[in-house]
Amino acid sequence: MKLIDGKQLSQTIKEEIKLEVDEIRAKGGNIPHLAAVLVGDNPASRSYVRNKVRSCEFAGFESTLIQKDASISEEELLEIIQELNENEDIDGFIVQLPLPDHIDETKVTLAIDPAKDVDGFHPINFGKMAQGLDCYLPATPYGILQMLERYNIETSGKNCVVVGRSNIVGTPMSILLSRKANPGNCTVTLTHSRTRDLAGEISRADIVIAAIGIPNFVGADMVKEGAVVIDVGINRVEDETRKSGYRLVGDVDFDAVSEKASYITPVPGGVGPMTVTSLLLNTLKASKLK
């Protein structure tokens, strides 16, 4: 078994980005500027946005953080988005999800200028991705592609099973791995909670992408010998031995599945850091397009 170290790979790519930004700065070019909008006080969201800000600082980006109380109205949030759309100094921005229940996430996503949609969630970017056109790829799937490519994992002709069909991970992942590209050229099965014999589908996979949001869902009995296992899940489970009272686990039973997998991502330290790095890559791309 070989560990796919997302934390180390993320650092390597951020160092590459930093070198490129240093060169842009030396030539007097446009320095990438990423903005993030954080609504409410969700601890996971705050931590994620904080990591984005730190990564921007490391890579030499300019960054702006806009924090608003959960009581903000939908209209007020849409006004902030419009201001960011019109701000020529901002190359790209994200609105951190989830949002409070009284705000329509779809309406917010549609309000973002596709040219600044570095999270890759806008239907225009999604549609371009589906047709193989140049666009901003969704950050988590983009990070997974980077992992497969940088670790020289063969995907062509392989059977890939994606567990989970969200618009953020599962569905775009199934499109990206089936396209005529490298990584890609997989035969992809997109599974979910209504799939019959889900364990049987997973057991036939050469590559498993687990993004179903259930702690330790994928067990060793579901994974065939030598499979590549990418764990997108991040779940809190109670653990009285920890000071925090909990620990983070993925959607894969890591200890058991790692005995059979040829490659596997850990949680934490796997896909998560690569999501942030992909956001930087998209912002750098947006900056260059200007």
Name the residues annotated as catalytic.
52, 96, 119
234 is in an annotated binding site: yes
245 annotated as belonging to a binding site for a ligand: no
Q: Round to whole Å and give the CA distance between 163 and 202.
A: 8
Q: Which of 129, 204, 193 is nearest to 161 (CA)?
A: 204
| DSSP string computed for 227-269 | -EEEE---EEEE-TTSTTSEEEE-SB-HHHHTTT-SEE--SSS
Of 5, 2, 91, 6, the residue nearest 277 (C-alpha): 6
Nearest to 203 by CA among 191, 213, 193, 215: 191
Strands of the chain (E only): list them: 2-3, 33-39, 62-68, 92-95, 159-163, 187-191, 207-210, 228-231, 235-238, 246-249, 263-264
153 is in an annotated binding site: no
* First and final C-alpha spacing in the chain: 43
Token readout for 20 is 């490129």
- Give the residue ranges of the annotated binding site for NADP(+): 164-166, 234
Residues annotated in a binding site: 164-166, 234
